[in-house]
């Protein structure tokens, strides 16, 4: 859904018709609509892990290679090999950061969104 469609959807939400025009109700409506539409960076009361810069860089490179394949057609052998390596590295880095540590049940990464 495009940004304009999403803003129209938020602006014409049914809660705005029911609410009294006060600061408290506006803030509650914003919170309720954002939660309903899952616009927060968290899942209910849990925070989601942010990824490290290294992992984000690998994922960016992976997106660039995949985009190049879509725009320019088939990749060369070297680029295909690089795509496979990058995909493997991205998967490994992501799993390292998000897989729970078996010793104490907490997430390995301390980065919080």
Residues 78 and 58 reside in one and the same domain = yes
| Model pLDDT, residue 80 | 92
Q: Which residues pair with 112 in a beta bridge?
A: 49
Residue-wise pLDDT for 38-60, tens only, equals 776 655 565 555 678 888 889 88
67 falls within a domain:
yes
**Over residues 15-24, mean pLDDT:** 78
21 falls within a domain:
yes
Residue-wise pLDDT for 61-88, tens only, equals 998 998 888 888 888 999 999 999 999 9
| Model pLDDT, residue 79 | 92
37 falls within a domain:
yes
pTM of the model: 0.46
Residues 58 and 22 reside in one and the same domain = no
88 falls within a domain:
yes
86 falls within a domain:
yes
Report residue 23 as tokens: 């600061």
14 falls within a domain:
yes
Residue 3's pLDDT band (cuts 50, 70, 90): low
Cα 16 from Cα 19, distance rounded (Å): 5
Domain boundary, last residue among 30, 47, 64:
47
Q: Answer with the residue of higher pLDDT: 48 or 5.
A: 5
112 falls within a domain:
no
Cα 63 from Cα 83, distance rounded (Å): 9
Q: Number of structural domains, the chain?
A: 2
* Helix/strand number for the chain, H first, E second: 5, 2
22 falls within a domain:
yes
Range of the domain at 22: 3-47
């Amino acid at each position: 859904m495009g940004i304009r469609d999403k803003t129209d959807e938020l602006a014409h939400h049914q809660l705005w018709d029911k609410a009294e025009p006060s600061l408290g109700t506006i803030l509650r409506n914003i919170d309720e609509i954002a939660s309903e539409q899952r616009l927060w960076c968290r899942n209910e009361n849990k925070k989601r892990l942010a990824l490290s810069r290294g992992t984000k860089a690998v994922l960016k490179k992976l997106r660039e290679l995949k985009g190049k394949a879509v725009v320019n057609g088939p990749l060369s052998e070297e680029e295909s090999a690089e795509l496979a390596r990058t995909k493997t590295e991205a998967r490994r880095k992501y799993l390292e950061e998000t897989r729970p540590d078996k010793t104490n049940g907490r997430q390995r990464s301390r980065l919080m969104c």
